[in-house]
């Protein structure tokens, strides 16, 4: 690539790199592992969103020791007692 096309690709790569830096470390896990992370906290703050494209999906996000753990499930997760839940319109992961 050369010229404008090469510059556009480099700019896009730089934007992606900045988005990753800004988002920190995101760890995608299976629902069972997500629930295990929640179990390690006394009063976890869980962000929850539901999508309805072809089928209903439940999305969850929680912070633990500086990492953001995310999961999605076809069924609602049974969150532990004491969990504070924030409902979101959407959870976006880069």
Whether this model's pTM surpasses 0.85: no
Please name the residues in contact with 7: beta carbons below 8 A apart, sequence gap of 6 or more. none
Kindly list the structural domains of the chain, giving each domain's residue range(s) and its CATH number in brackets, ordered by start: 25-94 (3.30.720.90)
**In angstroms, rounded to a whole number, what is the distance separating the alpha carbons of residues 68 and 66?**
7
Strand-strand pairing, 26-28 and 56-64: unpaired
Q: Which of 42, 91, 51, 43 is nearest to 69 (CA)?
A: 91
* Tens place of pLDDT per residue across the chain (94 aa): 555 556 677 776 666 555 555 556 899 999 999 999 999 999 999 999 999 888 899 999 999 998 999 999 999 999 999 999 999 999 988 7
Q: Are 5 and 47 in contact (CB under 8 A)?
A: no
């Amino acid at each position: 690539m050369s010229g404008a096309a090469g510059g556009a690709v480099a700019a896009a790569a730089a934007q992606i790199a900045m988005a990753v830096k800004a988002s920190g470390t995101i760890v995608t896990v299976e629902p069972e592992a997500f629930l295990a992370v929640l179990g390690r906290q006394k009063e976890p703050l869980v962000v929850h969103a539901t999508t309805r494209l072809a089928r209903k999906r439940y999305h969850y996000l929680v912070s633990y020791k500086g990492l953001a753990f995310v999961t999605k499930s076809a069924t609602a997760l049974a969150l532990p007692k004491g969990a504070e839940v924030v409902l979101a319109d959407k959870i976006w992961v880069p």
